[in-house]
Structure 1
Amino acid sequence: MQLRYGMNPHQGPASVEPIGAAPFTVVRGRPSYLNLLDAIGAWQLVREASAGSGLVAAASFKHVSPAGAALAGAVDPVTAGLFGVAPRADAATRAYVRARDSDPKSSYGDLVAVSAPVTTGLADLLRRVVSDGIVAPGYEPGAVAVLSAKKNGTYLILEAEATFEPPDEEVRELYGLRFVQRRDDAPLPDGLSADLRLALTTVRYTQSNSVVLVRDGATLGVGAGQQSRVDCIRLAGTKARLWHQRRFVPPDDLSGIGSIQQRVNAQLRLAEAIDPPVPLQRVSLASDGALPFEDNITEAARFGVRHIAEPGGSTRSDAVAAAAHQHGITVTRTGLRLFRH
């Protein structure tokens, strides 16, 4: 398949070829190189999250990392009002609006993935937000027609092959070298809480170094691509804190504002000045690599983290565990590093 261009517009021509059966069918539009990279990561995330929870999952992807991911849970009044959806919307719509609400500024122009067929309700929401494309295992009658009118008919619509299983080995060629490795299909440990499982699943498909904060089946903050682990926590925590502050913006302050993105921008400006009456609480954290120092725990505690999943194995793991105990934080050592580059 010929792509619109490669990683950048000047890197053309570009193409992609399936190895055996193709994982996606192009229903509408012409993908770029980055579109497909986002679709691959986003689809794997929602497929794994749905299988692990039994619920519909959704993700909002930008630049090969999730801006947000969520399961189909309750939609709070703030989110419902911001995006103009009913609190009792269908599961696919609820999952996606919760995922996009995690970091709606970063989700601008996202690649969407949902683990269930796209409903007309979700298609109508996507019609009203800035998004570049979607991947899903199917589309209910009428949904493709709604999406096909988006972006002057260029909105990318991919249908995932739900039964597709990728090869056991991954091959990448860069700068005259061919890299071969086993695909990252290691199962997550048993006995994890639902939030830690979603956090670990999300961090697995996030560019390293990365940390993900989750509460009630939805990400509150994703800290991706930082060289310092504590900076990952600080970035994810800052996003989570802003998510919390946005809960206290009066709905009347957004009344009369036209588009969803205009309401998002106004809400963010107002939220930054709010000191919430209660702090952020009950947050779960997953790290793709070991937490190397106690300052990671101190930083996590600032953002209401009470449960952590990390690989363990650091030379200072005992000191990190002692710091967690002092802050009332439980630590699960998975023995599973989840770097992604």
Structure 2
Amino acid sequence: MAVSSKHIPAPDLFPVRRALLSVSDKTGLVDFARALHAKGVELLSTGGTAKSIAAAGIPVRDVSEITNFPEIMDGRVKTLHPSVHGGLLAVRNDPEHVAAMEAHNITGIDLVVINLYPFEEVRYQGGDYDTTVENIDIGGPAMIRASAKNHAYVTIVTDPNDYDSVVAELEAGNGSLPYAFRQRMAGKAFARTAAYDAAISGWFAETTKEEAPLHRALAGKLHSVMRYGENPHQQAGFYLTGETRAGVATATQLQGKQLSYNNINDTDAAYELVAEFDPAKVAAVAIIKHANPCGVAEGTSLKEAYLKAYACDTVSAFGGIVALNRTLDAEAAEEIVKIFTEVIIAPDATPEAQAIVAAKKNLRLLVTGGLPDVRAPGIAAKTVAGGLLIQNRDNGNVDDLDLKVVTKRAPTEQEMIDLKFAFRVAKHVKSNAIVYVKDGATVGVGAGQMSRIDSSRIAARKAEDAAAVAGGEPLTKGSVVASDAFFPFADGLISAVEAGATAVIQPGGSMRDDEVIKAADEAGIAMVFTGMRHFRH
């Protein structure tokens, strides 16, 4: 049942006479405390925060002085006390509240400065169970929420980046803070505790392997505001979850204009794909357009891999995203900058390569320091009307599968190498996905069609277009082909055979598998079942 309100109006300006500071991140703390003291604000604090302030020669009272109770249980219990929470929650112009404060010797707290134990950092940096649990803050969120609820009288500050704003507002208000500012800080504070609780509940779900918890919370911290979303009439922002898995969210942008919403989406798709290829074994390049690969290849060098990937679809590569699984070198950079490219992302870039890219001032160059672990667990989420669809990240890997040859003819050694390559790529192509591969490079990609046979035909047509540019026959002749899901009918496979494919890799599992296998045998091609599909909608 809802609690009724007495409808006591909040004052516009409310003076700050006493502040409570208790922070884990001490960035800017001393300067802020000094500025508050200079304005006559009494400072209360706890533990390490109090020591830092006192060490700077700034007067500060320990919270235990007003609670008349020491910190106990390794600091777990210090602010959970009526003298603190009464000072935070009291409605200052409610006679009953004022009487209660006087009766129990409670003095109001007007400004609260708190940031929380670094749970997110410990979680994502792989802290052990006990360490992670110990970094769950209890008193901090309680004080934040109490202060934010009572923003009619209390200002709550949870971000060191807001310290200067507080000082400026105090200057403008002659020692008081305006209601609009208190309200804005309250909203920010509730968002912070919500994100904190989301991180904790998410960690527990992962740790206990609870596949579908009753309540699921997702949260992120604003990284940047986009000029717009997918289209100019849509607003958008880029939020970071705190996950340290290498990728576009952890990358450093060395140059180029601000990334757009579509840039980030496409760059993520490109880097996740190229991470499928072990840089210790082979150089690999993926060129992405609208979240689909238009060319992927491996080679003895990044330059060779890039040129093979580019040859797959020279038209679509224009204005694309280029992802590399090794440090960008000068040779590869020289080739990449020959056409208009939106983004290059790689684990690193040599100084020579950076100088070459710098000649294209709008071209974004991102370095990540590593590749994402394609086998790592995680979640993927999509919104629907009134809800969220949440699933585990598709971390299936063809190298981990028990591949089954189902035709009379088995693939040759080279065909098997290319089949695995093709299936790696198909995992990252929008369904229905068909990928032709020859000699470690895509030679035709069909994506996002309503029928698998249409995807097969489009991929073959792309190969014909590439052949027309290169002046030869389509490279689908003698290629292999991958399908992200089973062939529901033999017509899709027959289309691939007509394009020149000699071997096929697909999940299998159709009611008509026997019909499809028979068609493959009649055509004299090899076919392998993976037992795993890779739908990507």
- When normalised by structure 1's length, the TM-score is 0.81
- Residue 15 of structure 1: which of 238, 255, 258 is its match? 238
SS in 2 for 1:66: strand
Residue 262 of structure 2 aligns with which residue? 34
Contact persistence 1:241–1:303 (CA under 8 A) = no
**How far did residue 141 of structure 1 move?**
1.3
SS in 2 for 1:222: strand
Tell me the distance in 2 between the aligned counterparts of 1:15 and 1:67: 26
The letter for the 1-side match of 2:260 is S
Contact persistence 1:203–1:212 (CA under 8 A) = yes
What are the superposed Cα offsets for residues 181-210 of structure 1, whole Å, 9 maximum, x if unpaired? 111011212568221111111111111111
Contact persistence 1:311–1:336 (CA under 8 A) = yes
**How far did residue 39 of structure 1 move?**
1.3
- Residue 96 of structure 1: which of 297, 306, 311 is its match? 306
The letter for the 2-side match of 1:291 is F
Tell me the distance in 2 between the aligned counterparts of 1:48 and 1:14: 28
What are the superposed Cα offsets for residues 222-254 of structure 1, whole Å, 9 maximum, x if unpaired? 0001010000110111112333444436xxxxx
Residue 54 of structure 1 aligns with which residue? 281
Tell me the distance in 1 between the aligned counterparts of 2:478 and 2:526: 12
Tell me the distance in 1 between the aligned counterparts of 2:484 and 2:500: 19
Contact persistence 1:4–1:31 (CA under 8 A) = no
Given the superposition, is the C-alpha separation of residues 232 and 164 from structure 1 closer, same or farther in structure 2, using an over 3 Å criterion? closer
Which range is displaced more, 103-112 or 20-29? 20-29
Tell me the distance in 1 between the aligned counterparts of 2:370 and 2:475: 41
The letter for the 2-side match of 1:35 is N
- Residue 159 of structure 1: which of 367, 386, 398 is its match? 367
SS in 1 for 2:343: strand
Query: What stretches of structure 1 of length at least 5 have no aligned partner?
Result: 74-90, 250-275
Contact persistence 2:327–2:346 (CA under 8 A) = yes
Which range is displaced more, 292-301 or 237-246? 237-246
Residue 382 of structure 2 aligns with which residue? 172
Residue 511 of structure 2 aligns with which residue? 315
Contact persistence 2:397–2:424 (CA under 8 A) = no
Which range is displaced more, 226-235 or 167-176? 167-176
Residue 127 of structure 1 aligns with which residue? 337
Is 1:43 the equivalent of 2:251?
A: no
What are the superposed Cα offsets for residues 151-195 of structure 1, whole Å, 9 maximum, x if unpaired? xx2211111241554652223334331121111011212568221
Given the superposition, is the C-alpha separation of residues 160 and 175 from structure 1 closer, same or farther in structure 2, using an over 3 Å criterion? farther
Contact persistence 1:120–1:140 (CA under 8 A) = yes
SS in 1 for 2:277: helix
Contact persistence 2:444–2:476 (CA under 8 A) = no
SS in 1 for 2:322: strand
Contact persistence 1:244–1:280 (CA under 8 A) = no
SS in 1 for 2:511: coil
**Bigger relative CO (Cα 8 Å, ≥ 6 apart):** 1
Contact persistence 1:23–1:164 (CA under 8 A) = no
- Residue 478 of structure 2: which of 282, 285, 293 is its match? 282
Given the superposition, is the C-alpha separation of residues 216 and 279 from structure 1 closer, same or farther in structure 2, using an over 3 Å criterion? closer
Contact persistence 2:347–2:370 (CA under 8 A) = yes
Tell me the distance in 2 between the aligned counterparts of 1:13 and 1:230: 36
Given the superposition, is the C-alpha separation of residues 208 and 244 from structure 1 closer, same or farther in structure 2, using an over 3 Å criterion? same
Residue 208 of structure 2 aligns with which residue? none
What are the superposed Cα offsets for residues 109-141 of structure 1, whole Å, 9 maximum, x if unpaired? 000001011111222222221111111000011
Contact persistence 2:463–2:475 (CA under 8 A) = no
What are the superposed Cα offsets for residues 93-113 of structure 1, whole Å, 9 maximum, x if unpaired? 111111111001111100000
Residue 66 of structure 1 aligns with which residue? 293
What are the superposed Cα offsets for residues 288-318 of structure 1, whole Å, 9 maximum, x if unpaired? 1110111112211111111100111111110
SS in 2 for 1:118: coil
Seq. identity, %:
33
Query: What stretches of structure 2 of length at least 5 have no aligned partner?
Result: 1-222, 404-414
Given the superposition, is the C-alpha separation of residues 195 and 179 from structure 1 closer, same or farther in structure 2, using an over 3 Å criterion? same
What are the superposed Cα offsets for residues 262-295 of structure 1, whole Å, 9 maximum, x if unpaired? xxxxxxxxxxxxxx5x995321000011101111
Residue 207 of structure 1 aligns with which residue? 430
The letter for the 1-side match of 2:365 is I
Residue 87 of structure 1 aligns with which residue? none
- Residue 294 of structure 1: which of 479, 487, 490 is its match? 490
Tell me the distance in 2 between the aligned counterparts of 1:101 and 1:218: 9
Residue 522 of structure 2 aligns with which residue? 326
Is 1:236 the equivalent of 2:459?
A: yes
Given the superposition, is the C-alpha separation of residues 117 and 209 from structure 1 closer, same or farther in structure 2, using an over 3 Å criterion? same
Tell me the distance in 2 between the aligned counterparts of 1:208 and 1:242: 22
Alignment: residue pair count: 294
Alpha-carbon RMSD across the aligned residues, in angstroms, is 2.1
Tell me the distance in 1 between the aligned counterparts of 2:383 and 2:359: 37
Residue 144 of structure 1 aligns with which residue? 354
The letter for the 1-side match of 2:448 is G
The letter for the 2-side match of 1:289 is A
Contact persistence 1:50–1:71 (CA under 8 A) = no
Tell me the distance in 1 between the aligned counterparts of 2:318 and 2:475: 28
The letter for the 2-side match of 1:209 is N
Residue 38 of structure 2 aligns with which residue? none
Is 1:112 the equivalent of 2:308?
A: no
Contact persistence 1:307–1:329 (CA under 8 A) = yes
